[in-house]
């Protein structure tokens, strides 16, 4: 089952329901960054949250950035997710591990510890919106729910999880229930949405059983009268970094240090911090870059 975003409406179109299956994207994040178990779950839950939040945006190139800075061994993470279904990110301390919970699942709360969640929404034009909330318990789901209720005043509840098996990630995904902006003054509807938080506690269990998103939605929220939307969005871990972009970033070393890389190492390895992709830059490429930089310096002086 490929990663997919599924949408539905409920309560005669006043509530939006969005679900994501992100198993493959979470596996890729784990492989790329060699994430520990607790880092995988923290990252996977935040990736699912980012995709769910981005799905409510309008313009094609809209993106959501979620950054956590915290005192636990993981120290925090970054996720960048787009309405186009792409997601990428990293954990500050990817190898950090903490003892699992009694049920054997990773203890994300202990891994992240106390800290802050920063949210940036780039709606595709003008200045991005920023906001910050303190982490409630570092489990990510409750922290995101708290952010939505307090910073956005949108009645919402959210379920996020990554189920780990012996060989790594078994299932990953998320489910968001939200009052639509047009109905957000309707207190009965808001109450109805908050009441679904109890239902969403069963989300990890259904996810772990390998059910599809429409099956999960129907099992948990069918009583709200779901209208499934036919359009789905494929999801994938994707970083737009390129060799050229990384080469450009190497300018910051300055020509002397670049010359040093040619002489001592016969080239350089440039790594993208966000997706961990490594680009090999040859000595010849570095010489070309130095020539360009020298030419620019002369042009700037004249």
| Residues that bind Zn ion in the complex, under the rule CB under 5 A | 239, 241, 272, 274-275, 277
CB of 15 to Zn ion, least distance (A): 36
Nearer to Zn ion, 144 or 272 (CB): 272
Q: In which element (H, E) is residue 105 found? A: none
CB of 88 to Zn ion, least distance (A): 7
CA dist list (Å): 232 to 6, 85, 211, 214, 215: 5, 10, 17, 11, 15
Which has the closest alpha carbon to 161: 205, 204, 106, 112? 204
Three-state secondary structure readout of 109-164: HHHHCCEEEEEEEECCCCCCEEEEEECCCCCCHHHHHHHHHHHCCCCEEEEEEEEE
Nearer to Zn ion, 72 or 85 (CB): 85
Nearer to Zn ion, 110 or 274 (CB): 274
β partners of residue 166: none
CB of 241 to Zn ion, least distance (A): 3
Q: In which element (H, E) is residue 283 found? A: helix 283-301
Nearer to Zn ion, 5 or 239 (CB): 239
Nearer to Zn ion, 16 or 32 (CB): 32
CB of 111 to Zn ion, least distance (A): 24
Q: How many CB atoms within 10 Å of residue 247?
A: 18
Nearer to Zn ion, 46 or 196 (CB): 46
CB of 236 to Zn ion, least distance (A): 13
Q: Which two tokens stand for residue 210?
A: 């390998």
CB of 274 to Zn ion, least distance (A): 5
Count of all residues that appear for the chain in the document:
302
């Amino acid at each position: 089952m490929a990663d997919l975003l599924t949408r539905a409406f409920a309560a005669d179109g006043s509530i939006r329901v969005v679900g994501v299956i992100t198993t493959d994207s979470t596996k890729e994040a784990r492989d790329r960054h060699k994430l520990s178990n607790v880092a995988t779950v923290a990252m996977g839950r935040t990736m699912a949250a980012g995709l769910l939040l981005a799905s409510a945006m309008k313009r094609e190139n809209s993106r959501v950035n979620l950054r956590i800075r915290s005192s636990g061994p993981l120290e925090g993470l970054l996720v960048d997710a787009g309405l186009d279904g792409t997601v990428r990110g990293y954990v500050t301390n990817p190898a950090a591990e903490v003892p699992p919970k009694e049920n054997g699942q990773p203890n994300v709360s202990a891994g992240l510890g106390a800290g802050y969640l920063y949210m940036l929404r780039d709606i595709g034009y003008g200045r991005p919106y920023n906001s910050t909330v303190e982490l409630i318990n570092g489990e990510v789901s409750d922290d995101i729910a708290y952010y939505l209720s307090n910073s956005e005043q949108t009645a919402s509840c959210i379920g996020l999880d990554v189920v780990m098996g012996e060989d790594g990630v078994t299932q990953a995904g998320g489910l968001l229930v939200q009052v639509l902006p047009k109905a957000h003054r309707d207190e009965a509807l808001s109450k109805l949405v908050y009441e679904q938080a109890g239902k969403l506690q069963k989300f990890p269990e259904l996810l772990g059983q390998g059910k599809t998103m429409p099956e999960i939605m129907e099992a948990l929220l069918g009583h709200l009268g779901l209208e499934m939307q036919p359009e789905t969005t494929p999801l994938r871990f994707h970083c737009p970094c390129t060799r050229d972009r990384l080469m450009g970033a190497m300018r910051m070393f300055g020509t002397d240090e670049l010359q040093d890389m040619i002489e001592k190492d016969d080239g350089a390895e440039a790594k993208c911090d966000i997706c961990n992709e490594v680009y090999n830059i040859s000595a010849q490429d570095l010489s070309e870059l130095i020539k360009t930089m020298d030419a620019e310096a002369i042009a700037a002086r004249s």
